[in-house]
């Protein structure tokens, strides 16, 4: 019998219980799935980093922690976790949702939609936007989500540059990597999309100096993580016109405090960390497959590199 602890906030259990059981049954696994198991009996933890489980030491026979989220910054540094940690890669749900968010917000900025959606003066300005082929987009982060967004934007006709830590090849996408090539990635970015993880190496990556490297009037879409941007530097760059608009989904503190300048800034759009959610039916299949692998000794999918922090 495989003992699986579901450790996430209360509201997630009704959402995940049935899809997880369906996915585990489909693989023919014999299991107990519960929110309450004696720690010493638990084989796998299906985990959200905001759950009550923060000390993994009592889980003496634990084989793996299977994260429900793509972002793992709240668990990678946990010194009590000594077993493999897998992050969520959910192509049908999470990845597709991010592609929709990113393409939607890139197109909003590209087409200048706001001028028509809110037009109290009934203005009739003939401002033809450039074609997508004339609007270079850069994506910082060419992982699961960055690559999927790069391909979708490429299909729409945008010239896309992607930037990552290690060299990458993605058809039709100019791929740059490493700190040496970051400026090059920024210099052409009329629209900049941030899909990097939150690690010590990415904190404040977009600081005043790098914001100044972007073409004047660039627009930013950040569904990655809040600490990627120096908030004060961004507000200054918005105020002096260097950056025309920032659409921000993630923040250093969430919910974004009421008195944070982003809320009132006319050139900032705040979305409440909704860029993309893990979707229970498809995510449950990913979790079940990893448990199957653990039971037959196959390598786990989507393992986190704890040293790199993602």
Ligand X SMILES: NC(=O)c1ccc[n+]([C@@H]2O[C@H](COP(=O)([O-])OP(=O)(O)OC[C@H]3O[C@@H](n4cnc5c(N)ncnc54)[C@H](OP(=O)(O)O)[C@@H]3O)[C@@H](O)[C@H]2O)c1
Kindly list the catalytic residues. 225, 273
CB nearer ligand X, residue 86 or residue 219? 86
With a CB cutoff of 8 Å and minimum separation 6, the contacts of 155 are: none
CB nearer ligand X, residue 5 or residue 223? 223
CB nearer ligand X, residue 71 or residue 215? 71
With a CB cutoff of 8 Å and minimum separation 6, the contacts of 153 are: 102, 103, 106, 132, 137, 139, 160
Beta bridge partners of 269: 247
Report the nearest approach of ligand X to the CB of residue 48 (Å).
13
Report the nearest approach of ligand X to the CB of residue 197 (Å).
3
CB nearer ligand X, residue 166 or residue 258? 166
CB nearer ligand X, residue 51 or residue 67? 67
Report the nearest approach of ligand X to the CB of residue 234 (Å).
17
Report the nearest approach of ligand X to the CB of residue 141 (Å).
4
The residue nearest ligand X at its CB is 143
Residues of this chain that bind ligand X (CB under 6 A): 70-71, 94, 98, 141-146, 164-166, 195-199, 201-202, 223-225, 249-250, 273, 275-276, 310
Report the nearest approach of ligand X to the CB of residue 300 (Å).
15
CA distance 157 to 111: 13
CB nearer ligand X, residue 9 or residue 133? 9
Report the nearest approach of ligand X to the CB of residue 146 (Å).
5
């Amino acid at each position: 019998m495989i003992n699986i602890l579901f450790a996430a906030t209360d509201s997630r259990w009704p959402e995940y219980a049935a899809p997880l059981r369906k996915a585990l049954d489909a693989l023919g696994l014999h299991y107990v799935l519960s929110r309450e198991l004696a720690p010493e009996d638990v084989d796998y933890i299906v985990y959200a980093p905001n759950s009550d489980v923060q000390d993994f030491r009592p889980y003496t026979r634990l084989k793996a922690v299977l994260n429900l989220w793509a972002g793992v910054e709240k668990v990678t540094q946990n010194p009590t976790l000594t077993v493999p940690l897998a992050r969520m890669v959910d192509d049908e749900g999470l990845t597709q949702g991010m592609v929709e968010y990113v393409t939607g917000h890139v197109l909003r900025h590209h087409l200048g939609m706001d001028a028509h959606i809110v037009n109290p003066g009934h203005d009739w300005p003939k401002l033809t936007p450039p074609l997508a082929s004339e609007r270079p987009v850069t994506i910082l982060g060419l992982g699961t989500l960055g690559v999927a967004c790069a391909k979708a934007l490429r299909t729409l006709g945008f010239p896309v540059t992607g930037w990552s830590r290690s060299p990458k090849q993605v058809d039709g996408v100019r791929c740059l990597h490493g700190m040496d090539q970051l400026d090059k990635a920024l210099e052409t970015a009329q629209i900049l999309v941030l899909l990097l993880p939150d690690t010590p190496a990415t904190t404040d990556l977009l600081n005043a100096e790098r914001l100044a490297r972007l073409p004047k009037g660039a627009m930013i879409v950040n569904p990655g993580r809040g600490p990627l941007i120096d908030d004060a530097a961004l507000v200054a760059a918005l105020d002096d016109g260097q950056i025309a608009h920032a659409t921000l989904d993630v923040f250093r503190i969430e919910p974004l405090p009421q008195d944070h300048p982003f809320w009132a800034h006319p050139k900032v759009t705040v979305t409440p960390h909704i860029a993309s959610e893990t979707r229970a039916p498809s995510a449950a299949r990913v979790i079940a497959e990893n448990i199957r692998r653990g039971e037959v000794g196959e390598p786990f999918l989507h393992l986190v590199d704890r040293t790199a922090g993602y």
